[in-house]
Amino acid sequence: MHNSQLEVLINDKGLSAPLRVIAQKVLAQERISIEEGVLLYEEGPLGYLATLANHIRERKHGDRTYFNRNFHVEPTNVCLYTCTFCSYSRLIKKREEGWEYSLDDIMDIIKKYDDQPVTEVHIVGGVLPQYDVAFYSELFQQIRAHRPDLHIKALTPVEYHYIFKKAKMSYEEGMKAMKEAGLQSMPGGGAEIFHPEIRDQIAGGKCSGEEWLRIHEVWHELGCRSNATMLYGHIESYYHRVHHMDLLRNLQDKTGGFQTFIPLKFRNKGNQMSHVSESTIIEDLKNYAIGRIYLDNFEHIKAYWPMISRETAQMSLAYGVDDIDGTIDDTTKIYTMAGSEEQTPAMSTKDLVKLIRQVERHPIERDTLYNTVMDFKDHVFEDDNQYKGYLSLPVLNK
Ligand code: SF4
């Protein structure tokens, strides 16, 4: 931990008094207010934010940087809703352009990974009537029966709100039924921006911010864990972002059930918001850092490398991020269809480990609940010591 770096900031007369107070609070492990969060966005210099966020990151995790070997299954990309930022879904009237997998189709996909060392299946997709409580219960049961060691992380409150309403079930009854069927964790999607001023404009009539939070609360009350996202960099203000994080922080105080905060960068390809420009890399890094500073009760901040590029993901590790996510193969279309940096988001474990080591962090493969699966700090890959041929290059200018 670098207390001295924070002390330099606290005493830096070049910084405004409120920014020095925030540095003091971070050192004392005190929480910052909504107003202070907005001030960080408006006035926090990048280097200052990095110092604060990295201090918290290293206090919690040292150099440890987590990744998870998982794969995605997306039952459909046809959707009843019309979120304006969504590049992924096809409206029902154009459903022939999309895909709608049956239960057997999905199980076939899952079986393709039988000999792969993956620990988690991440299931999420569009919302359609045939994907209901009965469908997902059967799916979870079949996955459990087929491969009990595979952790099922599936669906967001967007789907749950819809399917429970259709089945006339309360959130409590519905989430309990999902757990009994084999659901183990909930991913963080569908959160977008909670504030109705923004949500009403971008989120096409799907569950409200309160409903999203309530479903996570019910899930946490069942003793289970989940994640939370925030879609940033479109039409929201800094206040809307901090308001969003504030609601997450409040719920986390109540339940402690969130594991990870995942800021998702808005991409403008192939959606109804193509006229909105995208955030800069500087803004992305600031956003990770402020997420780390604001959400003092979240253990982890995750960067999704296919969305922001490998290089920005590496940099993010100095701005509060301690977890790098990304499928190990090309199993998700959500981000590639939105114009993300990586159009074929595949990275081998070795590449991911190398990416983390290059910036002098300590790679750890984790399972969904952050138990260590393998420590890659000193791991030597089979071909690391193999002769690569560079010694045979001709010597020039002899
Ligand atoms: S973001 Fe989700 S709910 Fe909204 S249109 Fe896309 S798939 Fe449907």
Count of helix runs (H) and strand runs (E) in the chain: 15, 13
φ and ψ at residue 71, rounded to 5 degrees: -140, 155
Q: What does the domain layout of the chain look like in residue ranges? A: 3-61, 64-375
Cβ burial of 389 (10 Å; 0-12, 13-18, 19+) is exposed
Tens of pLDDT, residues 232-262: 999 999 999 999 999 999 999 999 999 999 9
pLDDT value at residue 330: 43
Question: What is the mean pLDDT of the segment spanning 99-104?
Answer: 96
- Going by alpha carbons, the residue nearest to atom 4 of ligand 1 is 83
Distance (angstroms) between ligand 1 centre and the Cα of 387 equals 49
- Look at residue 389 and tell me whether its pLDDT is greater than 70: no
Burial 19-49 (b: 16+ CB within 10 A, else e): bbbbbebbbeeeebeeebbbbbbeebeeebb
Distance (angstroms) between ligand 1 centre and the Cα of 80 equals 8
Three-class SS state of 129: coil
pLDDT value at residue 139: 98
Question: pTM above 0.75?
Answer: yes
User: Half-sphere exposure (CA, 13 Å, Cβ side) for 125?
Assistant: 23
CATH of 64-375, one of 3.10.150.10, 3.40.50.720, 3.30.540.10, 3.20.20.70: 3.20.20.70
- The distance from CA 168 to its chain's CA centroid, rounded to whole angstroms, is 30
pLDDT value at residue 4: 87
Three-class SS state of 154: strand
Which residues are near ligand 1 (CB < 6 Å)?
A: 79, 81-83, 86, 88-89, 126-127, 158, 204, 206
DSSP 275-296: TSPPPPHHHHHHHHHHHHHH-T
Tens of pLDDT, residues 275-297: 999 999 999 999 999 999 999 99
